[in-house]
Amino acid sequence: MSDCSGLLTPEKEPVPLKSIDVQLEVRDHVATVVSTLSYQNKEDKPLEAVFVFPLPGDAAVCHFSAEVGQTHIVAEVKEKQQAREEYDDALSSGQQAFLLEESVQSPDIFSLSVGSLPPGESASIRLEYVTELAVQADDGLRFCLPAVLNPHYQPQGSEGTSAQVTSVPASLVPYSLSFSVQVSSPRPVSKVESSCSLEPLQYLNTDQTQASVKLAAGHKFDRDIELLIYYKDAHQPTAVVEAGQASAKTGTLMGDPVVMLSLYPEFSNPVTSSLGSHGEFVFLLDRSGSMDFPLYCESHQSRIASARDTLLLLLKSLPMGCYFNIYSFGHTYEHIFPKSVKYSRKTLKQAVKKVEVMDANLGGTEILEPLQHIYRQPCIPKKPRQLFVFTDGEVSSTKAILDEVKKNADSHRCFSFGIGEGASSALVNGMAREGGGHAQFITGTERMQPKVMQSLRFALQPLVADISVTWDLPKGVSATILSPPITAIFQGQRSLIYAQLTGKSSEAAQGCFTMNYTVAGHPCQNQLRFSLQPAEETRQDTDQKDLPHTRFTVHRLAALTQIRSLEMEEMNNSEQYTRIKTKLVNLSVQSGVGSIFTAFVAVGKSDGKVVQGPLIYREDPNYLPLLRGGLLGLFKESTPNVFRRAYLSLRKRTRTHGSTIKKKLTSAFSGTAFSFRNDQSASPQSSGENGATESPKPPRDPLLQLVSLQEASGCWLLGPALAAALGKTTEEVAKTKPASSKTKVWATILALIWLHGFKMDAKQEWELLAMKATSWLCDKRAVWITECVEAGNELLGCNVQKDELGL
């Protein structure tokens, strides 16, 4: 990103981006995205525009082309320095040129340079990428089209620039968006949901394996578009064989067929019955200023408040005998205990007390230092470490963080959570991938608790060991696995494996993939048989770039897995650097997939015309690197939540650009409900200051109220607080207690009946702590349990049977 000089002239500033058209094609578990960006130069001189935008961190950019007037230019992947030189040479000679490159700091940021666009001319940019779709807690496949690029926090004292940009309020977004989706799968498509309004789902065949849907008219691209796709029989393992590129050399990645295996390992009953694995649980919570944002636009609950509730639920659900600790971070970090402590009534009470007062007041988003501190703590023997990371932001040191997680992967599993729109997919997905865990994203109106509890179930599963894979293939055919070695397997979690197939086979030939491993000492095996013949629609070449089935989606995702693995390798000296860079550049150019060492460059040379006049540099005003004159006044007219987001995002610039911005912010926001404080967060003022009043806190969720009263052992205590949570008086609860029953047993049974009778829709959230309560009751071997269940049903107006409670 260049300096912001020249961006502070609102009277004449152009809006080069006019429209965005996005076509999404989903095949089973992977997606191909085609985005067309239309620009127009309204200046009276040639224009160079830079458009910085986010993509999923696990996306493989595989095509980039442009149309300027009647000229069609297709970009080539080249070594990055060579591409930049060709772009600069083209500009200096007056030719149209385009450059697309990935940020070295984070693989989910790209910058597109549109060079020498003549006065009055329009340009249409076409960008294609392919990506895997993550499986959510409810078996939905998640696709997210990012709308905004959150500021990437630059650690204090660090060198280099970061793409510090922010979004414009919806009322100021000047361009249109069209978004259409086509879905196909071997299994029927059951439904498609979104955080935005969709037109009705249209099935394209009678067996409902193909469907299409569009974004409803009137959508303003002011937030991420999240899509959730659901298949029937979602856990059925599948295999997709894709033919090689006819023009590529046999024996190369692009020249040979590639198979993508989708596996859902299933553990045997003896294994699943031992899910109470006692480990060490470390929670790392983001307390940067942006965690004070609402969870979603209309929400009265902030991200930090939701995170506090989620931490409470996690703490109550931990098994007896485990160890735990809680860290929080901003530009500094804190921890509740000097080292992980044994889970007990005393330590749980201490932790809950500290969590309840945690606020979004620690400034920036520096994860690396607390992460390194956690890894320096010695592991507890026979207590496998499980790390839970919660963050809503972006960081400028993504690669350093992922390197740290990878370096310590043998000592822990990492479960990561991206909170709110704009959370870095490169960071969240990367930490889970390198740490052998699972990633989740919480956006829109979703509750954080169900997704986090699913990850806790994964963490409670015993570690998988002795993983090995074998192939049973016809004579003359071999398979080379392109994916990194499998290091983590969870019950109910999908794994995608890519392999290159060499040799020839008959049309009827089949292959078999077998994965063996042990879980808690029990041997397990998963097997998948598949046809070696490529699907008919993949037997094409890539010269016809407009056809969706010619994009070699599987090949390019396989190439991306290799590229990302190479990028994570150590480059401690010039020899290692040169070796890895050469391999990366060759693989990137061969597959057409971008990397940190390559870029897409397109130069228009067809008509030989030279664009006349001095070049004007413009950053796309929809993605602002700093304050633009007159814009702060417009923010005051925006909705409170957009205003809040704009305010806090702009405040982050003060660490980089100093007192000038602080003065402008103080002036622009005077008389509003927001104050400019010396801490690193923004929040509404207290009552009486500038006439603003603090919003009353919403009443606590009854479920969380009940959860907060549970003891570490799993039981509940009888008292006024429990009675209030159940909606009864203390007298009613005491009077109906069977005479022979102990008070703790009676209280615990009442809590379980209430959960089963009134909160079955949230069972994913409380199931683990209910299991702990049931286990506590069974240990008591109380003969009066049946009597208590009958009395509890009568008191609460329920009809829950004893066996439903696990008793």
Q: Quick one: pLDDT at residue 108?
A: 66
Domain boundary among 460, 475, 493: 460
| Same domain assignment for residues 424 and 449 | yes
| 467-512 residue pLDDT tens | 889 999 999 999 999 988 877 777 767 788 999 999 988 878 899 9
User: Which of 95-104, 575-584, 743-752 is the most confident on average?
Assistant: 743-752
- In this structure, are residues 801 and 749 in contact, taking their beta carbons and an 8 Å threshold? no
Task: Please state at what angle helix 303-317 crosses helix 763-780, rounded to 10 degrees.
Answer: 30
- In this structure, are residues 204 and 211 in contact, taking their beta carbons and an 8 Å threshold? yes
Let me know if residue 718 belongs to a domain.
Answer: yes
Q: What Å distances lie between residue 307 and 290, 300, 358, 448, 652, CA to CA?
A: 13, 14, 10, 8, 22
Whether the predicted pLDDT of 112 surpasses 90: no
| Same domain assignment for residues 109 and 222 | yes
Let me know if residue 478 belongs to a domain.
Answer: no
| Same domain assignment for residues 306 and 393 | yes
Whether the predicted pLDDT of 541 surpasses 70: no
| Same domain assignment for residues 186 and 216 | yes
Query: What value does the mean pLDDT take over residues 746-763?
Result: 94
Q: Which residues pair with 211 in a beta bridge?
A: 183, 203
| 345-381 residue pLDDT tens | 999 999 999 999 999 998 888 899 999 999 999 988 8
Give the pLDDT band (50/70/90) at residue 439: confident
Q: Which residue has the tokens 């294609």?
A: 128
Let me know if residue 268 belongs to a domain.
Answer: no
Evaluated on CA atoms 649, 651, 652, 658, the torsion sign reads positive
Whether the predicted pLDDT of 574 surpasses 50: yes
Q: Quick one: pLDDT at residue 734?
A: 92
Lowest-confidence segment of 185-189, 425-429, 694-698 by average pLDDT: 694-698
Give the pLDDT band (50/70/90) at residue 670: very low
Give the pLDDT band (50/70/90) at residue 104: low
Query: What value does the mean pLDDT take over residues 15-32?
Result: 82
Query: What value does the mean pLDDT take over residues 548-555?
Result: 70
Per-residue burial over 431-441, b if 16 or more Cβ lie within 10 Å, else e, is: bbbbbbbbbbb
Query: What value does the mean pLDDT take over residues 256-275?
Result: 73
Q: What does DSSP say about strands 76-79 and 166-167: parallel, antiparallel, or unpaired?
A: unpaired
| Same domain assignment for residues 294 and 185 | no
Give the domain range for residue 767: 702-805
Q: Could you tell me which residue, 512 or 157, shows the higher pLDDT?
A: 512
| 721-753 residue pLDDT tens | 999 999 999 999 999 999 888 999 999 999 999
| Same domain assignment for residues 366 and 447 | yes
Let me know if residue 519 belongs to a domain.
Answer: no
Let me know if residue 568 belongs to a domain.
Answer: no
Give the pLDDT band (50/70/90) at residue 759: very high
Let me know if residue 242 belongs to a domain.
Answer: no
Q: Can you tell me the distance from the alpha carbon of 181 to that of 173, in angstroms, rounded to the nearest whole number?
A: 23
Let me know if residue 482 belongs to a domain.
Answer: no
Domain boundary among 640, 658, 687: 687
Q: Quick one: pLDDT at residue 395?
A: 74
Q: Quick one: pLDDT at residue 116?
A: 66
Whether the predicted pLDDT of 113 surpasses 60: yes
Domain boundary among 600, 619, 638: 619
Q: Quick one: pLDDT at residue 29?
A: 87
Query: What value does the mean pLDDT take over residues 264-270?
Result: 68
Give the Cα-Cα-Cα angle 52, 554, 230 (nearest 5 degrees).
85
| Same domain assignment for residues 427 and 453 | yes
Q: Is 326 helix (H, G, I), strand (E, B) or coil?
A: strand
| Same domain assignment for residues 292 and 381 | yes
| Same domain assignment for residues 357 and 404 | yes
Whether the predicted pLDDT of 385 surpasses 80: yes
Q: What percent of the chain has pLDDT over 70?
A: 75
Torsion of CA 528, 533, 535, 540, to 10 degrees: 140
Q: Which two tokens stand for residue 146?
A: 């990012």
Q: Quick one: pLDDT at residue 78?
A: 93
Whether the predicted pLDDT of 52 surpasses 70: no
Give me the number of domains the chain comprises: 4
Q: What percent of the chain has pLDDT over 90?
A: 34
Q: Can you tell me the distance from the alpha carbon of 255 to that of 278, in angstroms, rounded to the nearest whole number?
A: 48
| Same domain assignment for residues 641 and 735 | no
Q: Quick one: pLDDT at residue 53?
A: 64
Let me know if residue 269 belongs to a domain.
Answer: no
Q: Quick one: pLDDT at residue 647?
A: 37
CATH code where residue 40 lies: 2.60.40
CATH code where residue 316 lies: 3.40.50.410
| Same domain assignment for residues 650 and 790 | no
Closest listed residue to residue 416, CA positions, set 367, 372, 489: 367
| Same domain assignment for residues 613 and 638 | no
Lowest-confidence segment of 127-136, 355-364, 513-522, 684-693 by average pLDDT: 684-693
Q: Can you tell me the distance from the alpha carbon of 453 to that of 766, in angstroms, rounded to the nearest whole number?
A: 8
Lowest-confidence segment of 143-157, 285-299, 589-603, 614-628 by average pLDDT: 614-628
